[in-house]
Amino acid sequence: MSDGLVTGLLIVALFALLGSGVWIGLALAGVAWIGMELFSSRPAGDAMAVTIWGSASSWTLTALPLFCWMGEILFRTRLSEDMFRGLAPWLERVPGRLLHTNIIGCTIFAAVSGSSAATCATIGKMTLPELKARGYPEGITIGTLAGAGTLGLLIPPSIIMIVYGVTANVSIAQLFIAGVMPGVLLAALFSGYIVVWALLHPGEVPAIAERTTLAQKLYASRHLIPVLLLIGLVLGSIYAGLATATEAAAFGVVGSLAISAAQGSLSRRTFAASLMGATRLYCMIALILAGAAFLTLAMGYIGLPRHLAEWIGSLGLSPFALVVALAAFYILLGCFLDGISMVVLTMGVILPTVEKVGIDLLWFGIFVVVVVEMAQITPPVGFNLFVLQGMTGRQITWIARNTVPMFVLMAAAVLLIWFVPELVTFLPRQMKMG
């Protein structure tokens, strides 16, 4: 049977399973089992047991549940509220004023939460009612929040970077450091857009209720101390070479528990709720990873990745053309799958081709994260759009329409990191030299 026919059959089987409501992880494992039973001589049961155990017992993956737990603990504290109070006075004179709290809040919270949806929900819970009460237009408020929420994936610690690092065998600490500059660049682009929008629509930005003095601004900044200490603890320990990503995640959990206790929001109930929330999230991710690991193995036995890599290689695409094609492919895939599933499903097939063309896997990891971010705000399965729809009750198409400028800015960021790869590689190189 030809490769194209085998691929077609397996894709049909995958979509049939996903469409019938089967969990993604089980659907992936099911398709892998079908592939191995029908198109390879190795017993599927034995291969499945070995692969799933191997993927589930990876030490590198330990950072994942810890970062999930850290995000869940902080989700239940007053941290986001304090952040708003600390930032607001400094934004009085900037065009767009408090609209920037969406961007800065998401940037800061992204540095203590590895999830895009958690960043979007946490900051949105706090900024949307505040901005609405002060008379800011809902379209720009929700649009900028949807875009900035995706920074949860790019600014370390990031759940998707851990998944990519494990799948592509790239250092997670290096990936974390590589994500810092592109994350800040994207936040700056979003803020720049707000400044331009505010200058073009001066009448839509409400006037300031009261001006604060420098002393008042500095006093309000005390609210930012806990979150800055936590970021320093997690990223500082990795950057200084004192801790691996897993150890830094453990520091983060201890730090967030300390903040929660100091704020008085740590009770037996919130502790148990955070633990259960993290367990549910991690179990979902682990099941997807296990299913994807088995699917990658099955594809290897059938020989599909090799043939696909050879086919793409035979097209003679330049590295730039390949990157453009992959960006379009991931954005399309993002219409149907969440970010983690996209990464684990495709890496086994795509990495050999990327290596063959000579693209640095560390750079490619950051590229994939930015493109997956773009997929987070493309309907019908844009995760951030779902989160905002649940919070605002607005139609998903209305939210998506207001998010288009953020999507365009992310596309611009992809071009920037292609033409200036040092934006990604500079910090990791310094870390290696240090």
Give the list of residues 6+ apart from residue 346 with CB closer than 8 angstroms, or none.
330, 333
Quick check: is 253 in a domain? yes
Per the CB < 8 A criterion, the answer to whether 181 and 427 are in contact is: yes
Quick check: is 72 in a domain? yes
Report the distance separating Cα 315 and Cα 303, nearest Å: 19
Q: pLDDT tens digits, residue range 232-241?
A: 888 788 778 7
| Joined tokens for residue 257 | 């528990």
Report the distance separating Cα 205 and Cα 189, nearest Å: 19
Q: How confident is the model at residue 264 (pLDDT cuts 50, 70, 90)?
A: confident
Give the per-residue pLDDT at 22. 79
> Domain limits at 107?
58-266+303-433
Q: How confident is the model at residue 301 (pLDDT cuts 50, 70, 90)?
A: confident
Per the CB < 8 A criterion, the answer to whether 174 and 433 are in contact is: no
In angstroms, the first-to-last Cα distance of the chain is 54
Q: pLDDT tens digits, residue range 176-194?
A: 899 999 999 999 999 999 9
Give the per-residue pLDDT at 309. 63
CB atoms within 10 A of CB 142: 25
CB-based burial label for 226 (10 Å; 0-12, 13-18, 19+)? buried
Q: How confident is the model at residue 417 (pLDDT cuts 50, 70, 90)?
A: very high
Whether the predicted pLDDT of 270 surpasses 80: yes
Quick check: is 25 in a domain? no
CB atoms within 10 A of CB 390: 10
Give the per-residue pLDDT at 364. 95
Report the distance separating Cα 431 and Cα 434, nearest Å: 5
CB atoms within 10 A of CB 276: 11
Nearest Cα residue to 425 out of 377, 361, 381: 361
Q: pLDDT tens digits, residue range 195-217?
A: 999 999 888 888 776 677 888 88
Q: pLDDT tens digits, residue range 368-401?
A: 999 988 888 887 667 778 778 877 888 888 988 9
Quick check: is 34 in a domain? no
Number of domains in the chain: 1
Which pTM value belongs to this model? 0.78
Per the CB < 8 A criterion, the answer to whether 375 and 385 are in contact is: no
Whether the predicted pLDDT of 434 surpasses 60: no
Q: Is the peptide bond before 129 cis (omega within 30 degrees of 0)?
A: no
Report the distance separating Cα 253 and Cα 107, nearest Å: 19
Count Cα atoms within 13 angstroms, Cβ side, for 159.
Answer: 32
Q: How confident is the model at residue 13 (pLDDT cuts 50, 70, 90)?
A: confident
Quick check: is 63 in a domain? yes
Report the distance separating Cα 143 and Cα 154, nearest Å: 18
Q: Could you tell me the sign of the dihedral formed by the alpha carbons of 391, 394, 395, 400, in that order? A: negative
Quick check: is 249 in a domain? yes
Report the distance separating Cα 410 and Cα 394, nearest Å: 23
Q: How confident is the model at residue 411 (pLDDT cuts 50, 70, 90)?
A: very high
Q: Which long-range contacts (CB under 8 A, 24 or more apart) does 315-320 make?
A: 317/357, 319/357, 319/358, 319/359, 320/418
Q: How confident is the model at residue 313 (pLDDT cuts 50, 70, 90)?
A: low
Quick check: is 390 in a domain? yes
Q: What is the mean pLDDT of residues 117-133?
A: 79
Quick check: is 295 in a domain? no
Report the distance separating Cα 243 and Cα 62, nearest Å: 14
Which of 10-19, 29-38, 84-93, 112-121 tops mean pLDDT? 29-38
Nearest Cα residue to 47 out of 368, 270, 367, 295: 295
Give the per-residue pLDDT at 209. 65
Give the per-residue pLDDT at 370. 92
